[in-house]
Amino acid sequence: MRTKIFLIFLMFTTVVTFAQQDAQYTQYMYNTININPAYAGSRGAMSIFAMHRTQWVGLDGAPVTNVASINTPLNGTNLGLGVSLINDKIGPTNENTISADLSYTIPTSENYKLSFGIKGTANLFNLDITKLNPVDAFPLDPSMQNIDNKFSPNVGAGLYLHSDKGYVGFSIPNFIESKRYDDNEIAIFKEKINYYLMAGYVFDLSPDVKFKPAVLTKVVAGAPLQLDVSTNFMFIDKFTVGLAYRWSAALSAMVGFQVSDGMYIGYGYDHETTRLNNYNSGSHEIFLRYEIFKNNDKITTPRFF
């Protein structure tokens, strides 16, 4: 039992603090606003998004993430506005994060635009120590206490160069390193600065087939470099299928369907390539995006980013 409790603490202090940091998404290309505020309004439509992700199914205390967001261009201006809400549960912790995003876009050529974005964030952090399942042989430190809705503000920024065919983005969603929980001045849970660099491009293989390779690089101090490489195919502007690889972490499969001009649904599955594969049955991610278009309610160029 001592070993079990030790493993719980080990997962809490290493997996939560260093390995994950910001919630990760396999289908990040549909959820870019959560990591890059410059994305707000870039699709030229009011975009409403909802996602549910269950990570490492079968592993006690594994991350469960729910996301909801809305972003839109402001008519008659170069501005975009977005609001998002993230609920992230990992073991004994429960975080709620609400963000507001503002972007400004300028044309750089006939096809490309450059967007600048800023993000303001409010985080509410909860810790329930009863979920650590202490036993008599290994009791919890009496000084440890529950934390209820500890408030932490933050700010971030991003750049996003994009067209109907491709994009390059760089962002830092949180500039401030904040300590969620301290024990004798040692940060057990510390939100570090995350750096994101992403790129993707859509190639027309035929009138009915589009191919998009994409890459996302994430850098966090004290953690290994995270590199996500993906390839997606879109058929007859309706059905999307793809594969992704998260370096030294997971192999993923993705499918999506354009239900109507405004509605798109997608599903992703991650298969762990680390030793964690022995203790879980993979990760599942499902999302729904609904968009309201200003040009006769018609989507002009189906994109999978």
Distance (Å, whole) CA 224 – CA 182 = 24
The reported pLDDT for the residue numbered 1 is 38
The strand ranges marked E within 128-262 are: 147-162, 166-172, 178-183, 186-191, 194-201, 203-206, 209-220, 226-235, 239-246, 250-258
Residues 285-296 have pLDDT tens digits of: 999 999 997 655
Distance (Å, whole) CA 174 – CA 198 = 17
pLDDT averaged over the chain?
A: 85
pLDDT at 229 over 80: yes
Q: What is the mean pLDDT of residues 57-69?
A: 92
pLDDT at 2 over 70: no
Question: Which structural domains are found in the chain, ordered by start?
Answer: 26-292 (2.40.160.40)
Minimum mean pLDDT range among 5-14, 271-280, 295-304 = 5-14
The reported pLDDT for the residue numbered 48 is 96
The reported pLDDT for the residue numbered 5 is 36
pLDDT at 208 over 50: yes
pLDDT at 270 over 50: yes
The reported pLDDT for the residue numbered 276 is 84
Distance (Å, whole) CA 71 – CA 80 = 7
Residues 7-57 have pLDDT tens digits of: 444 444 444 444 345 777 899 888 899 999 999 999 989 999 999 999 999
Minimum mean pLDDT range among 126-135, 227-236, 266-275 = 126-135
Residues 129-148 have pLDDT tens digits of: 777 765 554 555 555 677 87
Residues 162-206 have pLDDT tens digits of: 998 999 999 999 998 876 555 555 455 567 889 999 999 999 999
Among residues 212, 213, 214, 265, the alpha carbon closest in space to that of 238 is found at: 265
125 or 294, higher pLDDT: 125
What count of other Cβ atoms lies within 10 Å of the Cβ of residue 6? Answer: 11
Distance (Å, whole) CA 85 – CA 51 = 11
Ordered DSSP codes for 117-139? EEEEEEEEEEE-GGGG--BTTBP
Residues 88-119 have pLDDT tens digits of: 999 888 999 999 999 999 999 999 999 999 99
The reported pLDDT for the residue numbered 10 is 42
